[in-house]
Amino acid sequence: MAMKIHGTALVDAKAELAADVEVGPYAVIEAGVVIGEGTFVGPFCRLAGPTTIGAGNRFESHCAIGGPPQDLKYNGEPTRLEIGDRNTFREFVTFNRGTPGGGGVTTVGSDGLFMAYTHVAHDCHVGSRVIFDNCATLAGHVDVGNDVTVGAFSAVHQFSRIGDYAFLGGFTTATKDCLPFMRTVGARPAKCYGPNTIGLERKGFSEERRDALKKLWRILRSPKLTTTQAVERARAELAGQPDVDAVLAFIDGTQRGVILARE
């Protein structure tokens, strides 16, 4: 398939586009942008570099991709944005490049859906098969695992983490880490409401795996135990089950603390 670039689009000579990329009206693709095969760039999108975009992505209208970080310390240093394959970016989404102090790169996996007005700030690392609902917002330096759903109008504080298979309900304000496999919902203070049972079942988790996470949650939510005590008991009673071990390792690695029901 031949490349299709609308006559009103502006494509810098130093941009690299695969042979079958399609670029819509009034789109702007700047120097340093590399776009893989089968990608569609819709009308009025702006793609800035250095940005590398994989194959089969789709950018609907007015996307702002690869712009400089919104960080007062940034002084024009060479940083970048890296995007995987087969993602869909809906209207008015914004993704920023990294900063030197944060590793210099923002990364996005594959097979994600980023609905209208999603914002992913500098130095974030977003996994694959994620869903960001309308106006979901990540501050800088946020790590998001695989198979995560971030609800509409949710905001995640800088340097926070969202674990694999986590679900954040709409309007959630996450100022600490959100546990993998669990549902975290609410404005300040957000609370965790246990395993995302329906979502995990849809993802193919067996009843045995779901039950193990329910047992873990009953320990973690106990008002008689501190988080440290709960982790110790869970490790003693449930260790060796991969999903449980993953949650406990996630808690062990927290810098900001994790969101639990007792908060």
Report the catalytic residues. Answer: 122-123, 140
- How far, CA to CA in Å, does 202 sit from each of 162, 167, 210? 19, 13, 11
- How many whole angstroms separate alpha carbon 241 and alpha carbon 176? 25
C-alpha span between 261 and 244 (Å, rounded): 18
Mapping DSSP to helix (H, G, I), strand (E, B) and coil, where does residue 83 land?
strand
Contact 259, 176 (CB under 8 A): yes
Cβ–Cβ < 8 Å for 153, 134: yes
The alpha carbon of 166 is separated from its chain's Cα centroid by a whole number of angstroms, namely 11
- Measure CA 181 to chain center: 15
Rounded to the nearest 5°, which phi and psi values hold at 6?
Answer: -65, 150
For residues 196 and 183, give the distance between their C-alpha atoms in angstroms, rounded to a whole number: 5
Find the Cα–Cα–Cα–Cα dihedral 121, 122, 123, 126, rounded to 10°: 30
